[in-house]
Structure 1
């Protein structure tokens, strides 16, 4: 059976300038709110003085991540990083691996990095800080505009949460266009995705607003990360903010290793 090919139709999403948003620019806030009420997915442009360090840091973290994921699965670093029964730490899935760093534990100095990542502790610290401040700024403006109260939304790492930085590694086993993760919405408050290849697709809706079988691809926008409104934020807004349906596919071209970073803003669940 031939693999599904990527559709040629490309999605058109809003690009929100983080620097303008952080400076309380009214037009940028309105753009953010509009995007979150309609698509529920938008680009956040990080090419500004508050966030520009992220570009060099993430590139280095990607290279370090490849070194870690290329270790044998029974290596000491990987076995010691395994955490059964929770998403944090090192995990092996069907056709992928990931390593998730708990933001709270990391900020409080309670997280032990695998030896491969230890030299990049400063970069990881800076990356988590930038991602967290960026998504906190986004959430603060959305909550203010939609009059949403989120008591568990806090920048204090002593307040328990499931917020985390996740490095995802996918080996070169998928043909171009292969659906890797079927359609879904994200749980939590918001998801920030850093990627450099077209792997995300969103559904096309008919004139009645019903989801069809057709999909369009979310392109890469230089200098930007992709942000999704997630289920809990949509629920707390009474549906005024939209949790995006999306899926993950293998990018066009030859089979190859892919690695990405996801920042998950999630309140604590006992």
Structure 2
């Protein structure tokens, strides 16, 4: 079992909370977070709306197909996303900040644009916009505590998030199947950190604790699952390491709902490099070098890499990026 941290204790004994936070992220890269202040009724509301969306007829869901969006927003059917070149067995909605598209955008600036919302479920938009505001606020609090725990000013990350942060939220359903084990293939998250809401009773999330060894991460009542992303690995020289994780597809006759928020700075933000105290720097492992997964310190480059790899059909339709180009350049 991964450690459980209570964010409400940060107001009472911030030094103790920060030490626990730093240790959990350094040792595991994953932990549970309680005491976050998100109202339980809002948690129930977003999970209920997610269920209602996925119960809609296919034509109602396809109204907001990601294939319509050059910004990689909207609905992806089952099998509509790839990890490591293999099909993920899930359907989902991708939601980002609601901003106008940039005319004649190039590269990662194409990720800015409007969301798509289903006309058959108009209440989805206001509830999820409230949810995203609340959860991203929790993430920013964690970043401030992390910064201090690493010997940096509490506001060291603030500039990267001050203007047009590019958070990404997914609303995901994993249907049961006997045809594949891959709900989502093994990967690291490309942003700063991820806060994940798991539906009670769900199973399938696994974390690679040592190479080739996987540990289950079951839901804990009232808790988020939090994991560090690639940009925190860059910011700390590998003292905090983004940890590979995957989702095993549910058994036939069952399914699973999860709602991750990937806390991310502005597209053109460069993550600040923290000069660690000597005792922490001595334990830094360095940024992991993987020729198949380059890590960029500008968030937009990292996100663009992930999006064009995951959705090659959108990349080709709207941006002329062929699957061959994705494999060689990203």
Give the TM bin, normalised by the shorter chain: 0.7 to 0.9
Alignment of 1:158-197 (within 5 A): 159-174=163-178, 178-195=181-198, 196=200, 197=202
**Residue 59 of structure 1 aligns with which residue?**
44
Task: Structure 1: state its 5+ residue gaps.
Answer: 1-11, 206-210
Q: Secondary structure at the match of 2:50?
A: helix
Higher mean C-alpha displacement, 14-23 vs 78-87:
78-87
TM-score (norm 2): 0.64
How many matched pairs? 240
Is the alpha carbon distance of 1:101 and 1:179 closer, same or farther for their aligned partners in structure 2, counting shifts above 3 Å? closer
1:62-77 matched pairs, under 5 angstroms: 62-75=47-60
Match of 1:98 among 92, 96, 99: 92
Map Cα deviations across residues 191-226 of structure 1 (whole Å, 9 max, x no partner).
111113222112343xxxxx1x33221222211010
Q: Which residue of 1 aligns with 2:207?
A: 202
Using a 3 Å threshold, how does the CA distance of structure 1 residues 86 and 131 change in structure 2: closer, same or farther? same
Per the alignment, in what secondary structure is the counterpart of residue 62 of structure 1? helix
- 1:243 matched residue in structure 2: 242
**CA shift for structure 1 position 229:** 0.3
Structure 1 or 2: larger strand share? Answer: 1
Greater RCO (CA < 8 Å, at least 6 residues apart): 1
Q: Which stretches in structure 2 are left out of the alignment for 5+ residues?
A: 81-86, 101-113, 268-299, 302-330
CA distance in 1, matches of 2:237, 2:213: 28
Q: How has the CA–CA distance of structure 1 residues 265 and 119 changed in structure 2, closer, same or farther, with 3 Å as cutoff?
A: same
- Give the corresponding residue for 2:257: 259
The answer as to whether partners of 1:64 and 1:116 remain within 8 angstroms in 2 is: no
Corresponding residue for residue 219 of structure 2:
220
Structure showing the higher helix proportion among its residues? 2
Map residues 57-136 of structure 1 onto 2, 5 A cutoff: 57-75=42-60, 78-80=62-64, 82=66, 83-92=68-77, 93=80, 94=87, 95-105=89-99, 111=115, 113-136=117-140
Shift of 1:89: 1.8
Query: RMSD of the TM alignment (CA)?
Result: 2.7
2:83 alignment partner in structure 1: none
Q: Are 1:103 and 1:165, in contact at CA under 8 Å, matched by a contact in 2?
A: no
> What is the 5 A alignment of 1:37-48?
37-46=26-35
The alpha carbon displacement at 1:104 in A equals 4.8
The answer on whether the counterparts of 2:168 and 2:261 sit within 8 Å (CA) in structure 1 is yes
Check conservation: 1:103, 1:128, Cα contact below 8 A: no
> Residues 117 and 143 of structure 1: is their aligned pair in 2 closer, same or farther, counting only changes over 3 Å?
farther
Separation in structure 1 between the aligned mates of residue 121 and residue 148 of structure 2, nearest angstrom: 38
User: 1:264/1:174 Cα in 2 relative to 1: closer, same or farther (>3 Å)?
Assistant: farther
Residues 116, 28 of structure 1: CA spacing in aligned structure 2 closer, same or farther, 3 A cutoff?
farther
Q: Distance in 2 between matches of 1:112 and 1:88?
A: 7
Change in 2 beyond 3 A, CA 1:204/1:153: same
Normalized against structure 1, the TM-score is what?
0.77
Assess, with a 3 A threshold, how the Cα gap between structure 1 residues 144 and 69 changes in structure 2: closer, same or farther.
same
Deviation at 1:22, TM superposition (A): 5.0
Whether the 8 Å CA contact 2:196–2:225 is kept in 1: the answer is yes
Conserved? CA contact 1:96–1:168, under 8 Å: yes
* Secondary structure, aligned partner of 1:219: coil
